[in-house]
Amino acid sequence: MEKTESPKSQKPLRFAGFFFLLYLANVITGKASMFLIGSPKVFLNDVLEFLVLLGASAFFVIAILISEFESEGDPKQSKMEM
């Protein structure tokens, strides 16, 4: 039986993916601007880059917590059975 993600955990996971792609685009653009003449400058400063990465991490943790909360079985019970 294949597990599917719940719709509640899909939305935060998509936000996390968006923020991470925004962060990755900023890093790639910054690296390209070091080597290419006429390349656009970095579009996020240090503080905004930190906030984007923090948002990606926070939404990822929220998605994982929702997924764990809705999963079958109590995680404490499964650890005790081992």
pTM exceeding the 0.75 threshold for the entire prediction: no
**What torsion, rounded to 10 degrees, do the Cα atoms 30, 61, 64, 13 define?**
-40
Confidence of residue 74 (pLDDT cuts 50, 70, 90): low
- Of residues 29 and 74, the one with the higher pLDDT is 29
From residue 23, alpha-carbon distances to 6, 16, 38, 64 in Å are: 26, 11, 21, 20
pLDDT at 9: 76
Convert the pLDDT of each residue in 3-37 to its tens digit.
Answer: 555 677 789 999 999 999 999 998 888 888 778 77
Nearest to 43 by CA among 55, 20, 56, 27: 27
| CA 22 and chain centroid, separation | 10
pLDDT at 40: 63
